[in-house]
Amino acid sequence: MLKGATFIEKSIKDLKRKGEIPLIPYITCWDPDLETTEAILWEMAEVSPACIELGFPFSDPVADGPTIQKAVVRALEHKPTLENFFEFVKRLNDKGYPIPLVCMTYYNIFYRFGLERAVKFALDSGLSGFIIPDLPIEEANPWLKANKGKGLATIFLAAPTSSEERIRKIAQKSSGFLYYVSLTGITGARDKLPEDVLERLQLVKSLSSIPVAVGFGISKPEHVKMLSPYADALVVGSAIVKIVEEKGKKAPAKVKEFLKILKTF
């Protein structure tokens, strides 16, 4: 069975080969509770996303906008621990969960837990990788060393302000996919995306040997239609988290319905 970065890359490429749109949805674990999180994950699996970003709640989510910040506050009420998170992922994978799962959280969480310990727990749980938005490549060597040869994806972010040289370095250190942030600022659904996003995407793809996913602001079928010919995958976060905020325990079916709409635009 495929695992880690290889599992993610194959999932993206297989969907593209089939002519499908590789979506990467994001939800915050424990929002509004763990039972609902699991129900949402199984409903999303039926829409065949490329992989899923599962956010571990952190008290200072500097890259996230108001929608995800509020989700984090709701999730933190359950007093989650990283051990709980890995146990949850393991239970899912023991049940045969078919989609690669990526943990999205902040570096302080792993630093305090222990880098090598986090990698070991991740491997034992069947997690496929990590997105750590506040970890720049210049400071990533301890993390990369802890994960060396283990196969887990470390997905770094490139910004609209990143130079060509920096994008090359980010692509070299990333595994699974490179995450291109479509706009400067924080996460959140937008009506319009930047005018130069397609040009920038083409540049990033030309500098990367692994798949390039684009995120931040993607919330409408029009966005998917515009970006899908240029990106290898599309990350959708705040628009989904908003559904969870509004529907609570009734969110699972609504999230699946929303992703179906995005995939068929």
The SS3 assignment for 91 reads helix
The SS3 assignment for 220 reads coil
Question: Tokens representing 90?
Answer: 């393991």
Q: Residues in the chain, how many?
A: 265
The one-character DSSP state at 249 is: G
Burial (Cβ within 10 Å: 0-12, 13-18, ≥19) of residue 120: middle
Torsion (CA) 218, 130, 245, 224 in degrees, nearest 10 = 20
164 in active site = no
Q: What's the CA gap between 25 and 66, in Å, rounded?
A: 18
Q: What's the CA gap between 53 and 209, in Å, rounded?
A: 22
53 in active site = yes
Q: Which of 31, 64, 232, 245 is catalytic?
A: 64
Q: Which of 53, 77, 139, 222 is catalytic?
A: 53
Query: What one-letter code names the amino acid at 47?
Result: V
Strand pairing report for 157-158 and 153-155: unpaired
Q: What is the set of active-site residues?
A: 53, 64
